[in-house]
């Protein structure tokens, strides 16, 4: 038969086994194998029913994303599905791991579905800027009802086997280690009808009368989350079609809406991000013997917002944490904040009270740094000055056991200078978490000059364990993210002096897809971060705002004034400070266009990214994109700054940078001249 699909016969049951690691995606070989396997099972008179299952870690996890955008080869998925749905012998899908996307769509063309309790089922296409294009939008609502289908296709979040059984998506839950036997037993049931999901009408018909309000409400409730994305609306339209049209008409709507998404830039960007995220965790050139060390316990120095957030990541992953503070009051406050965060989650029903206690039970608060002597990994999250960091690392060096990894959560400072105060710079690196550290997915792993390969490998593996997307950065001021952020912030400040307003700049970047603009961000972070009244020379706009008592959202006054509900209006005080500053500098204020704002805020970031890349501070352009998407809210459907610059065309980016007086980074200039791209996607 096929190399990836095998048919074996057990008595009167034909067992089709897909074996195409890593995730049994529906590649051309799998589609061809399935088509041949079903045909062979139908042709075999001994076979009365068929079980479809997968070898390895998971049921089919979807179409093979790496085939998208290329020429179509092999049997088409709809043809394979038609052969299955119209098969004269019942087919039972036996599901373990994840049945996702095209995988679930194949299961939906089986006549029955059984799954183990740990299985997850979903249609995550929206996360790739797509919609389920193999009948998923028409079959799913026929089983689970339009309302749940709508949630599933627009969020892309899979559901558990238990929820799948309750909603009608599967027919039975099988024992965790007895899936195949249970599926065969199901297949041997007498008089199994050939149930075609496409023919089920009750749930869609029942929803028809109230559907218009349901869809209107859904669009309203989710407008913010879906802003800027093309795929969610297309998914909604498909579910509407499932409710209002016949199956065949609905399939046509699905097809018509699928094709433009597949050809479009948003899905191209989101598919790129999918692979880029997985690529980021791989470190080029690590020797094979750089095996990750075991991290069984973690120490954290500093129980402030950052230290507490970092601690939660490990507690969530079941790793015991010892957290150290200098004063009892600060320690108590830090621990209370962690508890409050968990209790808030529990109040929303996303965690049980027992979970809260289990996590808090893993936390050991202490004022004594000596208690870090047994930790496998210690992360320092204290005040951001070199002096203090070096002091902490000097102490830590005396306390931590041999082989322990010592990490700094610094966001700008030179990790090598920190490492140098220790007797073991090979065990030191930066772990730059983003605030709030228990929420943000990004982790910049800063590789020092002497960081040992095994230490780096451990950091990458640990990041994965605690659910972070890790990106390796070299030692430079601000690493990848904050270094590029500085170039954007500097240009935004220039723009408001030249004549743009903070709200105009914020609006332009918001419309581009950012969650907020640079001035809203400054207000949120606090204008006085890193500012001190003693040292302020009143030289910058920021100095002057702070001197005037403007601190940002925390005191309701910043570039904007905030009311109790955090509604904002432009601050007359800030406006006057900006006007005075411009007058003092002799700037002739002018009207600045939206396009100029966008170009001047974003192209310098790309230019800085090119320098970072050329200096080897990032391993690859896609790593830079992953930093920006996961750490700063760059809209994922634009693929990150480097992908986006490629999509604009590097010649144009270089030309505009020159126009605005920038020196174009040599790498950018060369790629532009050679008509190449950073990411190889264009």
Q: What is the smallest separation between the CB atom of 136 and ligand 3H9, expressed in angstroms?
A: 6
What Rg value do the Cα atoms of the chain yield, rounded? 28
Interface residue with ligand 3H9 among 14, 33, 90, 102 (CB under 6 A) is: 102
Phi/psi of residue 604, nearest 5 degrees: -60, -30
370 is annotated as an active-site residue: no
> In whole angstroms, what is the distance from residue 487 CA to residue 465 CA?
33
Decide if residue 132 touches ligand 3H9 (CB under 6 A).
yes
Decide if residue 66 touches ligand 3H9 (CB under 6 A).
yes
Q: Cα dihedral sign for 573, 574, 575, 577?
A: positive
Cβ distance to ligand 3H9 smaller for residue 127 or 600: 127
Interface residue with ligand 3H9 among 32, 85, 125, 503 (CB under 6 A) is: 125
Cβ distance 36 to 72 under 8 Å? no
Number of residues engaging ligand 3H9 in binding (CB under 6 A):
26
Decide if residue 64 touches ligand 3H9 (CB under 6 A).
yes
Cβ distance 375 to 404 under 8 Å? yes
Packing angle, helices 305-316 and 328-347, rounded to 10: 50
Q: What is the smallest separation between the CB atom of 128 and ligand 3H9, expressed in angstroms?
A: 6
Q: What is the smallest separation between the CB atom of 133 and ligand 3H9, expressed in angstroms?
A: 3
Decide if residue 98 touches ligand 3H9 (CB under 6 A).
yes
Cβ distance to ligand 3H9 smaller for residue 124 or 299: 124
- Provide the 10 A C-beta neighbour count for residue 220: 9
Decide if residue 129 touches ligand 3H9 (CB under 6 A).
no
Decide if residue 90 touches ligand 3H9 (CB under 6 A).
no
Interface residue with ligand 3H9 among 101, 302, 502, 604 (CB under 6 A) is: 101
Decide if residue 253 touches ligand 3H9 (CB under 6 A).
no
Q: What is the smallest separation between the CB atom of 444 and ligand 3H9, expressed in angstroms?
A: 20
Decide if residue 63 touches ligand 3H9 (CB under 6 A).
yes
Q: What share of the chain is helix, strand, coil (3-state, %, to 5)?
A: 50, 15, 35
Interface residue with ligand 3H9 among 4, 7, 34, 77 (CB under 6 A) is: 77
105 is annotated as an active-site residue: yes
Tell me which residue of 32, 109, 36, 103 sits closest to 64, measured CA to CA.
Answer: 103
Cβ distance to ligand 3H9 smaller for residue 108 or 617: 108
Q: b vs e for 433-463, b when ≥16 Cβ sit within 10 Å of the residue's Cβ?
A: bbeebbebebbbbbbbebbbbbbbbbbbbbb
Of 123-131, 229-237, 377-385, 666-674: span binding ligand 3H9 (CB under 6 A): 123-131
Q: What is the smallest separation between the CB atom of 459 and ligand 3H9, expressed in angstroms?
A: 18
Cβ distance to ligand 3H9 smaller for residue 153 or 418: 153
Q: What part of residues 257-276 is at the interface with ligand 3H9 (CB under 6 A)?
A: 275
Q: What is the smallest separation between the CB atom of 349 and ligand 3H9, expressed in angstroms?
A: 24
> In whole angstroms, what is the distance from residue 324 CA to residue 302 CA?
6
Burial (Cβ within 10 Å: 0-12, 13-18, ≥19) of residue 290: middle
Q: b vs e for 475-493, b when ≥16 Cβ sit within 10 Å of the residue's Cβ?
A: bbebbbbbbbbbbbbebbb
Cβ distance to ligand 3H9 smaller for residue 469 or 597: 469
- Provide the 10 A C-beta neighbour count for residue 362: 18
Cβ distance to ligand 3H9 smaller for residue 75 or 77: 77
Show the tokens assigned to 404. 């322990």
In 248-402, at which residue ranges do the beta strands (DSSP E only) sit?
A: 298-301, 321-324, 363-366, 377-380
Q: b vs e for 580-605, b when ≥16 Cβ sit within 10 Å of the residue's Cβ?
A: ebbeeeeeeeeebeeebbebbbbbbb
Burial (Cβ within 10 Å: 0-12, 13-18, ≥19) of residue 616: exposed
Cβ distance to ligand 3H9 smaller for residue 132 or 430: 132
Interface residue with ligand 3H9 among 16, 23, 87, 485 (CB under 6 A) is: 23
Cβ distance to ligand 3H9 smaller for residue 259 or 529: 259
Decide if residue 62 touches ligand 3H9 (CB under 6 A).
yes
Decide if residue 65 touches ligand 3H9 (CB under 6 A).
yes
The residue to which tokens 């105060």 are assigned: 421
Cβ distance to ligand 3H9 smaller for residue 61 or 87: 61
Show the tokens assigned to 204. 């869609």
Ramachandran quadrant class, 586 (left: phi over 0; alpha: psi -120 to 50; beta: rest) = left
Decide if residue 278 touches ligand 3H9 (CB under 6 A).
yes
Interface residue with ligand 3H9 among 107, 128, 140, 269 (CB under 6 A) is: 128
Q: What is the smallest separation between the CB atom of 23 and ligand 3H9, expressed in angstroms?
A: 4
Of 94-102, 145-153, 528-536, 577-585: span binding ligand 3H9 (CB under 6 A): 94-102
Q: Which of 85, 125, 230, 608 is catalytic?
A: 125
Q: Which of 85, 105, 147, 325 is catalytic?
A: 105
Compute the CA torsion angle 496, 499, 503, 506 (nearest 10 deg).
Answer: -60
Q: What is the smallest separation between the CB atom of 97 and ligand 3H9, expressed in angstroms?
A: 7
Q: What is the smallest separation between the CB atom of 271 and ligand 3H9, expressed in angstroms?
A: 9
Task: Identify the DSSP state of 135.
Answer: T
Beta bridge pairs of residue 93: 52, 113
In 143-285, at which residue ranges do the beta strands (DSSP E only) sit?
A: 159-160, 172-173
Q: What part of residues 300-339 is at the interface with ligand 3H9 (CB under 6 A)?
A: none
H or E stretch at 313: helix 305-316
In 274-326, at which residue ranges do the beta strands (DSSP E only) sit?
A: 298-301, 321-324
Q: What is the smallest separation between the CB atom of 239 and ligand 3H9, expressed in angstroms?
A: 14
Decide if residue 100 touches ligand 3H9 (CB under 6 A).
yes
Of 101-109, 397-405, 442-450, 522-530: span binding ligand 3H9 (CB under 6 A): 101-109
Cβ distance to ligand 3H9 smaller for residue 275 or 660: 275
Q: What is the smallest separation between the CB atom of 28 and ligand 3H9, expressed in angstroms?
A: 12
Interface residue with ligand 3H9 among 14, 37, 90, 124 (CB under 6 A) is: 124
DSSP string, 244-255: HS-HHHHHHHHH
Show the tokens assigned to 512. 């581009």
Cβ distance to ligand 3H9 smaller for residue 101 or 517: 101
Decide if residue 25 touches ligand 3H9 (CB under 6 A).
yes
Of 28-36, 55-63, 140-148, 398-406: span binding ligand 3H9 (CB under 6 A): 55-63
DSSP string, 378-402: EEE---S-HHHHHHHHHHHHHHSPT
Binding site for ligand 3H9 (CB under 6 A): 22-23, 25, 58, 61-66, 77, 98, 100-102, 105, 124-125, 128, 130, 132-134, 136, 275, 278
Q: Which residues are catalytic?
A: 105, 125
């Amino acid at each position: 038969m096929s190399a990836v699909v095998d048919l074996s016969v057990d008595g009167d049951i034909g067992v089709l086994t897909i074996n195409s690691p890593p995730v049994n995606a529906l590649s051309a070989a799998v589609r061809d194998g399935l088509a041949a396997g079903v045909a062979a099972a139908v042709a075999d008179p001994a076979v009365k029913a068929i079980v479809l299952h997968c070898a390895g870690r998971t049921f089919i996890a979807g179409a093979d994303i790496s085939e998208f955008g290329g020429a179509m080869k092999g049997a088409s998925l709809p043809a394979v599905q038609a052969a299955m749905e119209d098969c004269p012998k019942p087919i039972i899908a036996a599901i373990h791991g994840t049945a996702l996307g095209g995988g679930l769509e194949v299961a939906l063309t089986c006549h029955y579905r059984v799954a183990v309790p740990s299985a997850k089922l979903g249609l995550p296409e929206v996360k790739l800027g797509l919609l389920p294009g193999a009948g998923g939008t028409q079959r799913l609502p026929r089983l689970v009802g339009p309302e749940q289908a709508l949630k599933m296709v627009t969020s892309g979040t899979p559901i558990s086997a238990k929820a799948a059984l309750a909603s009608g998506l599967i027919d039975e839950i099988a024992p965790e280690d007895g899936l195949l036997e249970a599926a065969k037993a199901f297949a041997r049931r007498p008089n199994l009808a050939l149930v075609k999901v496409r023919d089920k009408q009750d749930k869609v018909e029942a929803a028809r009368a109230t559907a218009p309000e349901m869809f209107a409400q859904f669009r309203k409730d989710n407008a913010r989350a879906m802003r800027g994305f093309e795929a969610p609306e297309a998914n909604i339209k498909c579910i509407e079609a499932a409710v209002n049209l016949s199956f065949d008409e609905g399939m046509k709507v699905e097809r018509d809406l699928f094709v433009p998404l597949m050809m479009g830039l948003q899905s191209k960007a989101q598919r790129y991000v999918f692979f880029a995220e997985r690529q980021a965790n791989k470190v080029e050139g690590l020797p094979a013997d750089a095996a990750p060390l075991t991290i069984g316990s973690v120490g954290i120095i500093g129980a402030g917002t950052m230290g507490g957030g970092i601690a939660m990541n490990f507690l969530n992953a079941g790793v015991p944490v010892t957290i150290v503070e200098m004063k009892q009051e600060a320690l108590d406050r830090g621990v209370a904040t962690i508890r409050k965060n968990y209790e808030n989650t529990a109040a929303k029903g996303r965690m049980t009270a027992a979970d809260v206690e289990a996590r808090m039970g893993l936390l050991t608060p202490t004022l004594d740094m000596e208690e870090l002597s047994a930790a496998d990994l210690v992360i320092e999250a204290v005040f951001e000055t070199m002096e203090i960091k070096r002091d902490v690392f000097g102490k830590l060096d005396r306390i931590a056991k041999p082989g322990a990894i010592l990490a700094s959560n610094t966001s700008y400072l030179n990790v090598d200078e920190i490492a140098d105060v220790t007797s073991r710079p090979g065990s030191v690196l930066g772990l730059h978490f983003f605030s709030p550290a228990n929420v943000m997915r990004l982790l910049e792993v800063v590789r020092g000059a002497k960081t040992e390969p095994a230490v780096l490998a451990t950091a990458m593996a640990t990041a994965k364990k605690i659910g972070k997307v890790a990106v390796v950065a070299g030692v430079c001021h601000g690493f990848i993210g904050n270094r590029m952020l500085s170039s954007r912030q500097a240009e935004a400040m220039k723009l408001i002096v030249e004549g743009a307003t903070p709200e105009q700049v914020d609006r332009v970047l918001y419309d581009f897809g950012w969650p907020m603009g640079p001035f809203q961000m400054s207000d949120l972070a606090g204008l006085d971060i890193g500012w001190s009244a003693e040292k302020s020379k009143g030289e910058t706009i920021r100095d002057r705002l702070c001197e005037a008592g403007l601190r940002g959202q925390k005191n309701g006054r910043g570039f904007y004034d905030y009311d109790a509900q955090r509604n904002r209006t432009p601050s007359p005080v800030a406006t006057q400070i900006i006007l005075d500053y411009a007058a003092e500098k002799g700037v002739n204020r002018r009207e600045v266009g939206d396009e100029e704002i966008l170009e001047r805020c974003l192209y310098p970031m790309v230019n800085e990214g090119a320098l970072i890349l050329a200096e080897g501070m990032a391993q690859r352009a896609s790593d830079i994109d992953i930093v920006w998407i996961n750490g700063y809210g760059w809209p994922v459907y634009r693929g990150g700054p480097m992908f986006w610059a490629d999509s604009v065309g590097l010649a144009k980016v270089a030309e505009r940078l020159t126009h605005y007086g920038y020196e174009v980074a040599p790498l950018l200039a060369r790629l532009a001249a050679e008509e190449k791209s950073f990411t190889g996607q264009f």
